[in-house]
Structure 1
Amino acid sequence: MPANVRTPLLQSAGPLEPFITTAKHIFGWLAYGSGSGPQGVFSVGFLNPLLLMQNAHKHGVLESDLVTQCSVSPTEPCVVQLFGLSWVNTNSLVFVAGAISTFIQVLAMFTVGAISDYRDNRKKIVVLFTITGVISSLAIAMLPSHLYELHILLFIFADVSNVLCGSIYDSFLPILVRHSHNPDLHYLRRNDAGSILEEASSSSSEGDEECATDEEGPVLLENSVVLDAKHPEEHFHTALSTKLSSWAFCVYFSSTLIFQIVYVFLSYFNYFEKTLLRNGVLITAVWLLLSSIPLALFLKTPVEQTASRSFFSLLFGSWSESFQSLKHAMEIPAVRIFLFSRMFLVCALQTSLSAIVIYSRAYLGMSNFQLLITISSFTLLAIFGTLGFPTLTKSLNLSSLQTVILAAFVLPLAPLYGLIGDLPFTGPQIGFTSIADAYAVTIFLGFMVGGLHTYCRSIFSQLLPKGREARFFSLYAIVSQTGVCIGQVALAILSNVFEQLGPVYIFLTIILLSTLIGLLLLYRHNHFL
């Protein structure tokens, strides 16, 4: 071989055999969401933090003297010494664990995203991290309360596994859509099947070879069906992507709501009061394991890329490839604008939800049971959002992006209503002043979150180039986590400096207007999304 010819890092999977997405593939993909919802939202997001704080409080000491057990005076600030290094407030343990988990997630996504795009690693990685999350949760449920430090480590494992699984799980969507069969275009497959397969094989081979060079940017642009805007199945793929994303989120939130309703019932009647948290963590973990079986058995995708390197070579080279993809993704205006808009949107939504919980508990006297009702109401309306947004899109004859823009116009009404209530010339009946207002805002945000998450995932899946799904959805998850972090930091600063929510309302309004501007810029580039 001549010295100036490089061996491609990626190789074509050979002559492409026709692969068509079937109902069995979609069932395997949707079934996994029925377990990841309760695990991610209810167990990792609610039960685990409560159990961690409960265990730490049992073995903590009062902050005032660092000697007296917290059980003597439960209402006073309680601290524990982590790993013999420093004293940490028991209410802050979750934030400490969450910050560490987020940092690990960002590092891991750059590696996992790149590796998942090779061979059939995508499904293997989802199953591997699912098992890791299940084992971590089972260990947490059986852990003695005095081992709260080990609980923190296991909680981080469970949280990281959940986020990584969600990122790779999302990357299946564009593949399932791309290989779906459109009956209206059957004549194309029948009359020109040979040339289509030949073109697909050539495109895959060329795209694979280009990944090893510095010319990935044009490949990303040309291999993206929607960015190219000339593919005959463009409108079919757009509609199907939105439908599958809506179904997936509906399953995700519906299964979560079922677990929440059962928990609220048991909590209200004080059933299994001492072991309710542990049993909840245990049951959600087992259900996640069961829901992963259809994914492992039925979900199949074509092997569009193989690698000439070993697994460890891929592992060590994954960061370089991820940064290369990140660099070129940022050079594509539509992808860049959408990711920044997504970051602002997640920041605003997360800040809003956190502000509701903190303000309601601190200033409105919301009880734990009322908090459970609030969370369950949010989940229920999120289901309505996943179903209502497609109906709204169809009735108004809007595109997916136009629907998101319409929602972005409506979202600022919530912080503006709260801001009006803080004005000196308004009465106490206006603004965020009661628990009823907390319920109303939660219902509004739940509906918006369900629909917006569905449509954002659908839009982004249409922007992805073939063969880069996992690493691009890892980037999508990183951007979302960045938005969450920005929102949490901003809320912490504003809540410490100001006692009222007025500055938070102003911050939310600015962030939401930035989201709207970004979406309008995206619409200028891509009217057909």
Structure 2
Amino acid sequence: MATTPPAPPPSGAPAADPAELRRERRAWYFYDWANSVFFTSVISVFFGPYLTALAQEAAGPGGRIGVLGLAIDPTALYPYATSASVLLQLVALPAIGAIADYTGRKRELMGLLAYIGAFATMGLYFVDGSAYMLGAGLFVLANLTLGASVVVYNSFLPDLAEPDERDTVSSRGWAMGYLGGALLLSLHLVLYLFHGALGLEQGHAVRIAMASAGVWWAVFTIIPLTRLRNRHRGTVLTGTRPAEPGRASGVRAVASSFGQLWYTVRSLRAYPRTLVFLVAYILFNDGIQTVIAFSATFADQALGLGQDVQIGAILMVQFVAFGGALVVGAIGRRLGTKRTILGSLVVWTGVVAVAPLLSEGSAVQFFALAFFIAIVLGGTQALSRSLFSHLIPRGKEAEYYGLYEISDKGSAFLGSLALGIALDATGGDYRLAILSLVVFFVLGFVVLAFLGVSRGIREAGNTVPERI
């Protein structure tokens, strides 16, 4: 086995002042609060059905639309747009992580990316008529920059929590995100249900809701930007020679980041269990993110449920997931993080297998399925983020979270691509297409089950928590 490189000094350890550390953690939680509205309101509820409807109205005589010279089924546009954003992330996110580690300016970089994404989301207000390509382009930009900002955000976790605290801190962040998303979605539900009384057309109300998610994201990002602090700059390696980060210009930082990306991928040979975890995570989280991203479209296209039912169910998910993230986090502390994640994957597999059997028009069945999703949703993601933090060699947090983030938070590539291909091939049959996601949960479970987590943590030069 390759020799494990020595870990850098613990310059990113939690702050010595407990009061200051608590304040910084609370500010860190607020970026989950700020950006989660993009997932709850834009991805999970409004954008998919709205973009699909625009594309269907613009379809030609053959029932297909033109996208970059290709003729596709209108229902496949949203899955393909999601896949396109992730295809860009495959290169951009690890490079962003390398830039963050290289320059040490994590807070500033997170803010820049957050505001690009927030303003792109606000731009969805102008997507109307036949402007489905404008909508797809703004979505790709917003999803790309959100994923990049979360790379930097996640890399603060090892700085803010000791190994035995990370499950708790990560779970609280996710819980805050679900609560924030639920509060704004509640307002969106009122706006949608009473749009006529407010003198608005339905499409106009949807565009206001999506734009307001961008405003919320921009406003609450101010809190972490005023409290989080940069701690250290990592050493960038290109090939085998370290570069001195203090001498880097902005252009050199960007150029060096791509060399660092290649080095990061090569260096995973020294941390084989970290690589195996990434494979497992990309598999099962692709399934999770695809379920989240297309649940509203599935309810619309396969079950014939109105958007009021969709919003109500997803709103319920946010409130239940708030408690679920905390409860599953507590179970992880008692039973072990890996074992708890595996249990949640069993639930996810059951959810996807049952979904095609739901009766058309049955809101009760849809709510019941959404409840089971809510219980495991936040906990699976929070514990995965926490577990991965133990497998990262110190000083490489942002660039490794860049690799991690490729399949995180609505950025599923393989799942959305598989769903898009299935929809294109079946003429938009969501009941058949959704079954393709089962394989992601099953394969992710198998890979994670055989992973030696404790050994991987020691290989990364970190302390193994009491329960993992």
Q: Quick check: TM above 0.5? A: yes
Match in the other structure for 1:100:
84
Residue 383 of structure 1, CA deviation: 1.5
Distance 1:304 1:313, change over 3 A: closer
> 3-state SS of the aligned residue for 2:102?
coil
Is 2:29 the counterpart of 1:30?
yes
Letter in 2 for 1:403: T
Distance 1:63 1:38, change over 3 A: same
Alpha-carbon distance between aligned partners in 2 of 1:376 and 1:163, rounded to the nearest angstrom: 23
Alpha-carbon distance between aligned partners in 1 of 2:160 and 2:354, rounded to the nearest angstrom: 42
Residues 319-468 of structure 1: pairs in structure 2 closer than 5 A: 319-353=258-292, 357=296, 360-394=299-333, 397-415=334-352, 431-433=357-359, 435=362, 436-468=364-396
> 3-state SS of the aligned residue for 2:221?
helix
Distance 1:119 1:504, change over 3 A: closer
Q: Is the contact made by 2:83 and 2:416 (CA closer than 8 Å) also made in structure 1?
A: no
Alignment match of 1:520 (pick from 446, 449, 465): 449
Is 2:397 the counterpart of 1:469?
yes
Distance 1:502 1:301, change over 3 A: same
Q: Which has the larger radius of gyration?
A: 1
Q: Is the contact made by 1:418 and 1:502 (CA closer than 8 Å) also made in structure 2?
A: no
Q: Is the contact made by 1:335 and 1:463 (CA closer than 8 Å) also made in structure 2?
A: yes
Residue 148 of structure 1, CA deviation: 5.0
Q: Is the contact made by 2:151 and 2:405 (CA closer than 8 Å) also made in structure 1?
A: yes
Alpha-carbon distance between aligned partners in 1 of 2:430 and 2:43, rounded to the nearest angstrom: 30
Match in the other structure for 2:170:
245
Q: Is the contact made by 1:115 and 1:314 (CA closer than 8 Å) also made in structure 2?
A: yes
Residue 521 of structure 1, CA deviation: 2.0
RMSD: 3.5
Match in the other structure for 1:209:
none
Distance 1:251 1:522, change over 3 A: same
Match in the other structure for 1:164:
148
Match in the other structure for 1:290:
219
Match in the other structure for 2:192:
267
> 3-state SS of the aligned residue for 2:103?
coil
Residue 475 of structure 1, CA deviation: 0.2
Alignment match of 1:116 (pick from 75, 100, 105): 100
Residue 296 of structure 1, CA deviation: 1.7
Is 2:297 the counterpart of 1:299?
no
> 3-state SS of the aligned residue for 2:168?
helix
Distance 1:415 1:43, change over 3 A: closer
Match in the other structure for 1:426:
none
Alpha-carbon distance between aligned partners in 2 of 1:17 and 1:240, rounded to the nearest angstrom: 11
Residue 256 of structure 1, CA deviation: 0.7
Letter in 2 for 1:241: R
> 3-state SS of the aligned residue for 1:118?
helix
Residue 49 of structure 1, CA deviation: 4.4
Alpha-carbon distance between aligned partners in 2 of 1:309 and 1:501, rounded to the nearest angstrom: 53
Alpha-carbon distance between aligned partners in 2 of 1:287 and 1:129, rounded to the nearest angstrom: 15
> 3-state SS of the aligned residue for 1:522?
coil
> 3-state SS of the aligned residue for 2:152?
helix
Letter in 1 for 2:446: I
Letter in 2 for 1:440: A
Distance 1:358 1:160, change over 3 A: closer
Residue 38 of structure 1, CA deviation: 0.9
Residue 438 of structure 1, CA deviation: 2.5
Alpha-carbon distance between aligned partners in 2 of 1:298 and 1:18, rounded to the nearest angstrom: 13
Alpha-carbon distance between aligned partners in 1 of 2:21 and 2:432, rounded to the nearest angstrom: 51
> 3-state SS of the aligned residue for 2:412?
helix
Residue 126 of structure 1, CA deviation: 0.9
Alpha-carbon distance between aligned partners in 2 of 1:481 and 1:387, rounded to the nearest angstrom: 18
Give structure 1 stretches of 5+ with no counterpart.
Answer: 1-10, 65-76, 178-236, 420-430
Residue 57 of structure 1, CA deviation: 6.2
Letter in 1 for 2:335: L
Q: Is the contact made by 2:14 and 2:159 (CA closer than 8 Å) also made in structure 1?
A: no
Match in the other structure for 1:42:
41
Give structure 2 stretches of 5+ with no counterpart.
Answer: 1-7, 235-244, 456-463
> 3-state SS of the aligned residue for 1:117?
helix
Q: Is the contact made by 2:33 and 2:220 (CA closer than 8 Å) also made in structure 1?
A: yes
CA deviation digits over 1:2-57, x for unaligned, max 9? xxxxxxxxx9999x997556222112211222211113432355444455456666
Alpha-carbon distance between aligned partners in 2 of 1:164 and 1:158, rounded to the nearest angstrom: 10
Q: Is the contact made by 1:257 and 1:376 (CA closer than 8 Å) also made in structure 2?
A: yes
Match in the other structure for 1:206:
none
Alpha-carbon distance between aligned partners in 2 of 1:292 and 1:298, rounded to the nearest angstrom: 11
CA deviation digits over 1:297-345, x for unaligned, max 9? 1111312434333221221121121121122224413212211111221
Alignment match of 1:281 (pick from 210, 222, 235): 210
Letter in 1 for 2:224: L
Letter in 1 for 2:325: T
> 3-state SS of the aligned residue for 1:63?
coil
> 3-state SS of the aligned residue for 1:466?
coil
Is 2:166 the counterpart of 1:258?
no
Letter in 2 for 1:450: G
Alpha-carbon distance between aligned partners in 2 of 1:438 and 1:354, rounded to the nearest angstrom: 16
Q: Is the contact made by 2:284 and 2:440 (CA closer than 8 Å) also made in structure 1?
A: yes
Match in the other structure for 1:218:
none
For normalisation by structure 2, the TM-score amounts to: 0.80
- Report how many aligned residue pairs link the two structures: 431
Range that drifts further, 112-121 or 352-361: 352-361
Aligned residues with identical type, % of pairs: 17
Residue 255 of structure 1, CA deviation: 0.8
Alpha-carbon distance between aligned partners in 1 of 2:220 and 2:294, rounded to the nearest angstrom: 33
Letter in 2 for 1:31: F
Match in the other structure for 2:238:
none
Q: Is the contact made by 1:355 and 1:491 (CA closer than 8 Å) also made in structure 2?
A: no
Alpha-carbon distance between aligned partners in 2 of 1:50 and 1:501, rounded to the nearest angstrom: 16
Range that drifts further, 492-501 or 268-277: 492-501
Range that drifts further, 293-302 or 375-384: 375-384
Match in the other structure for 1:3:
none
Alpha-carbon distance between aligned partners in 1 of 2:251 and 2:401, rounded to the nearest angstrom: 22
Letter in 2 for 1:315: V
